[in-house]
């Protein structure tokens, strides 16, 4: 169990801080996590649906899953964890927030230097001309078609087996190469490449703190694990 007073002191003194978040940070807003008890949809795991192969096989099925997730996000607000990270950014000279979440809640809360590793559920991309558009139609007509070239649109999300966007990854590695402190909150720590970010930060000597309800594969690598809810622990790290 981490020592909160010591973590707060390190955070106050760190010039450069990188935070990595996962689905657990949105859980208290009411967004289901992927590996929690609500992780399956019609018996499909995310790994069965969030892939280019699943989309090629049955684009409507994949879009139905995203429609369900988009519908669930309606009326959902950022929680105390998102807000604490906005405040942490305000107090830190060099702050980067890397999220695996596609729900857009960090951006809505007001985080500025935000790297959405897996994309954003409110953006769509043409599978042919590759143009990217914002789209908040809920439900979206499925399958949706590109207004420019008429080809099928897909969610602008990085799926299993796909490369992360190069510009995002470059910014991630730059922040991991200079952070003095890293906070990893609400992620199971098993999906690559995010799972390797902790080791990278450790390699350059950053102090790494994990916040989670339970121990994860990251727990053996980080300097300390604080067991608790992100919406309670994170605000506690930035109060004076």
How many residues of this chain interact with ligand OAD, rule: CB under 6 A? 26
Report how far residue 26's alpha carbon sits from residue 79's, in angstroms, rounded to the nearest whole number: 7
CB of residue 148 to ligand OAD, shortest distance in Å:
26
Stretch that binds ligand OAD, among 26-34, 67-75, 172-180, 198-206 (CB under 6 A): 26-34
Taking CB under 6 A as the rule, does residue 52 contact ligand OAD?
Answer: no
Q: What is the x/- site pattern for ligand OAD, positions 164-193, by CB under 6 A?
A: ----------------------xxx--x--
236 interacts with ligand OAD by CB under 6 A: no
Closest approach, Cβ 146 to ligand OAD, in A, equals 23
Closest CB 69 distance from ligand OAD, rounded Å = 10
Secondary structure of the chain as H, E, C letters: CCCHHHHHHHHHHCCEEEEEECCHHHHCCCCCCCCCCCCCECCECHHHHCCHHHHHHCHHHHHHHHHHHHHHHCCCCCCHHHHHHHHHHHHCCEEEEEECCCCCHHHHHCCCCEEECCEEEEEEEECCCCCEEECCCCCCCCCCECCCCCCEEEEEECCCCCCCCHHHHHHHHHHHCCCCEEEEECCCCCCCCHHHHHHHHHHCCCEEEEEECCCCHHHHCCCEEEECCHHHHHHHHHCC
- Counting every residue, how long is the chain? 240
Which residues from 90-119 bind ligand OAD, rule CB under 6 A? 100, 118
Query: Is residue 229 part of the contact set for ligand OAD (CB under 6 A)?
Result: yes
Nearer to ligand OAD, 180 or 229 (CB): 229
By beta carbon distance, the residue nearest ligand OAD is: 24
Nearer to ligand OAD, 148 or 162 (CB): 162
Annotated active-site positions, please?
118
Which residues in this chain contact ligand OAD in the complex, by CB under 6 A?
A: 22-24, 27-28, 33-36, 46, 50, 100, 118, 159-160, 186-188, 191, 211-214, 216, 229-230
């Amino acid at each position: 169990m981490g020592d909160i007073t010591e973590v707060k002191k390190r955070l106050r003194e760190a010039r450069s801080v990188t935070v990595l978040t996962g689905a657990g940070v949105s859980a208290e807003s009411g967004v289901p996590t992927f590996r929690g008890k609500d992780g399956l949809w019609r018996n499909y795991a995310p790994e069965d649906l969030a892939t280019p192969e699943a989309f090629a096989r049955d684009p409507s099925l994949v879009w139905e899953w995203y429609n369900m997730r988009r519908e669930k996000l309606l009326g959902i607000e950022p929680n105390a964890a998102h807000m604490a990270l906005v405040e942490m950014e305000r107090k830190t000279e060099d702050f980067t927030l890397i999220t695996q979440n596609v729900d857009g809640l960090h951006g809505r809360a007001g985080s500025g230097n935000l790297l959405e590793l897996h994309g954003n559920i409110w953006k769509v991309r043409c599978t042919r001309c590759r143009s990217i558009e914002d789209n908040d139609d809920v439900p979206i007509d499925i399958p949706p078609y590109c207004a420019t070239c008429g080809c099928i649109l897909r969610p602008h999300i990085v799926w299993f087996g796909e490369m992360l966007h190069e510009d995002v990854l470059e910014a991630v590695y730059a922040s991991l190469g200079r952070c003095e402190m890293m906070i990893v909150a609400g992620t199971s720590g098993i999906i690559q490449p995010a799972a390797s970010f902790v080791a990278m930060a450790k390699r350059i000597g950053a102090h790494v703190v994990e916040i989670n309800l339970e121990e994860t594969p990251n727990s053996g690598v980080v300097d300390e694990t604080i067991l608790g809810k992100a919406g309670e622990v994170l605000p506690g790290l930035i109060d004076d």
